């Protein structure tokens, strides 16, 4: 259609091409008002209705997990939300949403303009999250024996307990002892929980036990006796050649701390939450579970309920360093924050911990033996998706976790991270490409997370000459632990279990 305004007629000449006249093409002439030649007879189109779009980044998401609503509009002058969100909204934008309660959530958006109002809604299914609360019981904890240790003019009362609710991997039950402050039993005191080391192990699909170095299924799958805990973990880490050794644990004892020392008898890095113990041959009958974290937290619960405690620190070496982190996060889920943790010589640092394992497994000098599979069988033993849930140091620190100051100690000689002890292990290609040592590379993401956290309360301590579990020996790292502990106490933290 072509159109023009004719000055003589004052009308609009419209030519409609395509009218068939007889056997040809002609034109149809219409004359309508066009201004200047008389009164106009026009009708304005009505204002357009608003046009909306509303979408979600996720159709289904777990509770307490962020997703994003995105919307836009045209022909609108205002927008507002209703349903499971609310408030006035901009004409276009996005908003992060996180829901605490599971169920179907409806998000509605209404926009108004000169042409009227339009609305639309979308649904997002909020699913229950994993159970992050560690179920546990103190009801079956019973006192077994008490002893007094004397050194010079000082004496310490030790009370030994067994928890019949939790069986060990092969025989017996979880145990622990509480050591009272020197010469001051029953006094209110800070608590130092110590989780000893002992490596890691699991049964593979053929029920062959895979573990570190020369360990077997019998190393840490049986009950630890009172003598075991005293001789192998208390005295071994505080005495040397019948002389007091200046270790981190010794210093806390000298400062009047009460000490909680727990056993590990599922060989699970104190991380088990009650999952079935996979491929366990159970020679003593009955189904076995992996209960390390449950038993450890039950021991802590019992201790603070029966002994007057102020600040509560957790110190772990080797396997125990993973345990103190797991315990700190489990208590945090309940709104309880330990005063601080000291994790010496091992931390879960995916994916690099797996990459290091894959590169060095079976090599002389490395801790894990050929034929073991940490990514699969090793992780499956715990029956809990620590990796997928982001329950590891780097992830929680990047997520803003500051409630429990944490000190991570690593020595460059430590074979657990491919260290240079004895000059046996070579630098893996990934570390060499980054210009780092094996241990520096394996823990570099953790170091980076702490460095990039504003005013981080956490400390990453990488010693160029350090080896495995240096806090259990006379070593300069103990001074750095003191500085960390004193720095935490200088903030006047609240008592943990008031």
Q: What is the pLDDT of residues 387-425, one digit of tens each?
A: 988 999 999 999 999 999 999 999 999 999 999 999 999
Q: Within 10 Å of residue 69's Cβ, how many Cβ atoms?
A: 21
User: Are the C-beta atoms of 84 and 45 separated by less than 8 Å?
Assistant: no
Report the residue count for the chain.
Answer: 498
Q: Find tokens 């004895």 and name the residue.
A: 422
DSSP 3-state of 270: coil
Measured CA distances, 411 to 117, 131, 218, 357 (Å): 66, 35, 29, 17
As beta bridge partners, residue 317 has 344
CA distance 79 to 57: 20
| Per-residue pLDDT at 154 | 96
User: Are the C-beta atoms of 127 and 63 separated by less than 8 Å?
Assistant: yes
| Per-residue pLDDT at 19 | 35
Going by their DSSP bridges, the two strands 406-411 and 340-344 should be labelled as parallel
pLDDT digits (tens, 9 = 90+) for 122-167: 999 998 777 789 999 999 999 999 999 999 999 999 999 999 999 9
State the average pLDDT over residues 447-452. Answer: 98
DSSP 3-state of 396: helix
As beta bridge partners, residue 192 has 259, 313
Q: Please name the residues in contact with 28: beta carbons below 8 A apart, sequence gap of 6 or more.
A: 14, 15, 16, 19
| Per-residue pLDDT at 6 | 41
State the average pLDDT over residues 314-319. Answer: 98
Q: Please name the residues in contact with 72: beta carbons below 8 A apart, sequence gap of 6 or more.
A: 52, 53, 91, 92
Going by their DSSP bridges, the two strands 209-211 and 239-240 should be labelled as unpaired
Going by their DSSP bridges, the two strands 116-127 and 60-62 should be labelled as parallel
Q: Within 10 Å of residue 166's Cβ, how many Cβ atoms?
A: 27
Residue 428 has pLDDT above 80, yes or no: yes
Give me the domains of the chain, ranges plus CATH numbers: 2-33 (no CATH), 51-127 (2.60.40.10), 141-490 (3.40.50.1820)
Please give the DSSP secondary-structure letter assigned to residue 214.
T
Least confident among 120-134, 141-155, 184-198, 478-492: 120-134
- H or E stretch covering 298: helix 292-306
Percent of the chain with pLDDT over 70: 92
What rounded mean pLDDT belongs to the chain? 91
Query: How far does CA 144 lie from the centroid of its chain?
Result: 36
User: Are the C-beta atoms of 24 and 31 separated by less than 8 Å?
Assistant: no
Confidence of residue 33 (pLDDT cuts 50, 70, 90): very low
Residue 40 has pLDDT above 80, yes or no: no
| Per-residue pLDDT at 283 | 73
- H or E stretch covering 260: strand 258-262
CA distance 441 to 423: 17
pLDDT digits (tens, 9 = 90+) for 210-254: 999 999 999 999 999 999 999 999 999 999 999 999 999 999 999
pLDDT, greater one: 130 or 380: 380
Q: Find tokens 């000893």 and name the residue.
A: 196
Query: How far does CA 309 lie from the centroid of its chain?
Result: 27
Going by their DSSP bridges, the two strands 29-33 and 11-15 should be labelled as antiparallel
Least confident among 38-42, 265-269, 396-400, 407-411: 38-42
Residue 436 has pLDDT above 70, yes or no: yes
State the average pLDDT over residues 170-195. Answer: 97
CA distance 284 to 272: 20
Q: Find tokens 């895979």 and name the residue.
A: 210
Going by their DSSP bridges, the two strands 309-317 and 340-344 should be labelled as parallel
User: Are the C-beta atoms of 286 and 167 separated by less than 8 Å?
Assistant: yes
CA distance 301 to 324: 14
């Amino acid at each position: 259609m072509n159109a023009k305004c004719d000055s003589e007629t004052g009308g609009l000449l419209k030519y409609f091409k395509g009218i068939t006249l007889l056997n040809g093409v002609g034109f149809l002439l219409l004359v309508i008002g066009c201004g200047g030649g008389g009164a106009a007879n026009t009708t304005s189109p009505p204002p357009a209705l608003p046009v909306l779009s509303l979408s979600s980044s996720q159709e289904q998401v777990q509770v307490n997990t962020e997703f994003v609503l995105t919307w836009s509009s045209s022909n609108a002058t205002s927008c507002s939300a209703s349903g499971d969100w609310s408030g006035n909204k901009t004409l276009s934008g996005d908003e992060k949403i996180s829901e605490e309660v599971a169920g179907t959530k409806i998000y509605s958006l209404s926009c108004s303009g000169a042409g009227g109002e339009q609305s639309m809604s979308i649904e997002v299914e909020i699913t229950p999250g994993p159970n992050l609360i560690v179920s546990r019981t103190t009801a079956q904890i019973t006192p077994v024996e008490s002893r007094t240790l004397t050194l010079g003019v000082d004496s310490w009362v030790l009370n030994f307990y067994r928890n019949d609710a939790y069986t060990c991997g092969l025989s017996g039950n979880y145990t622990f002892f509480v050591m009272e402050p020197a010469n001051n039993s029953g006094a209110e005191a800070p608590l130092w929980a110590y989780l000893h080391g002992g490596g890691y192990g699991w049964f593979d699909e053929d029920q062959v036990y895979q573990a570190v170095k020369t360990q077997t299924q019998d190393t840490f799958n049986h009950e630890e006796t009172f003598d075991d805990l005293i001789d192998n973990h208390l005295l071994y880490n505080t005495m040397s050649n019948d002389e007091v050794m200046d270790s981190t644990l010794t210093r806390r004892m000298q400062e009047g701390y009460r000490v909680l020392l727990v056993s590990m008898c599922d060989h699970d890095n104190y991380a088990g939450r009650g999952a079935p113990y996979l491929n366990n041959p159970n020679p003593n009958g009955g189904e076995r579970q992996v209960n390390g974290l449950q038993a450890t937290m039950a021991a802590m619960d019992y201790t603070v309920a029966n002994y007057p405690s102020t600040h509560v620190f957790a110190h772990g070496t080797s396997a125990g360093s993973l345990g103190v982190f797991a315990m700190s996060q489990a208590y945090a889920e309940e709104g309880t924050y330990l005063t601080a943790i000291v994790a010496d010589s091992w931390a879960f640092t995916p994916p690099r911990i797996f990459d290091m394992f894959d590169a060095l497994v079976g090599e002389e000098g490395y801790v894990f033996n050929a034929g073991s599979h940490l990514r699969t069988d090793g992780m499956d033993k715990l029956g809990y998706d620590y990796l997928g849930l982001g329950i590891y140091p780097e992830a929680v620190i990047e997520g803003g976790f500051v409630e429990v100051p944490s000190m991570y100690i690593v020595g460059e000689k430590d074979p657990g991270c491919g260290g240079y002890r004895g000059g046996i292990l070579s630098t893996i290609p990934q570390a060499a490409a980054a210009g780092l040592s094996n241990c520096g590379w394996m823990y570099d993401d953790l170091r980076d997370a702490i460095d990039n956290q504003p005013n981080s309360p956490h400390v990453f301590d990488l010693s160029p000459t350090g080896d495995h579990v240096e806090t259990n020996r006379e070593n300069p790292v103990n001074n750095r632990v003191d500085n960390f502990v004193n720095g935490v106490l200088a903030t006047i933290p609240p008592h943990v279990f008031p």
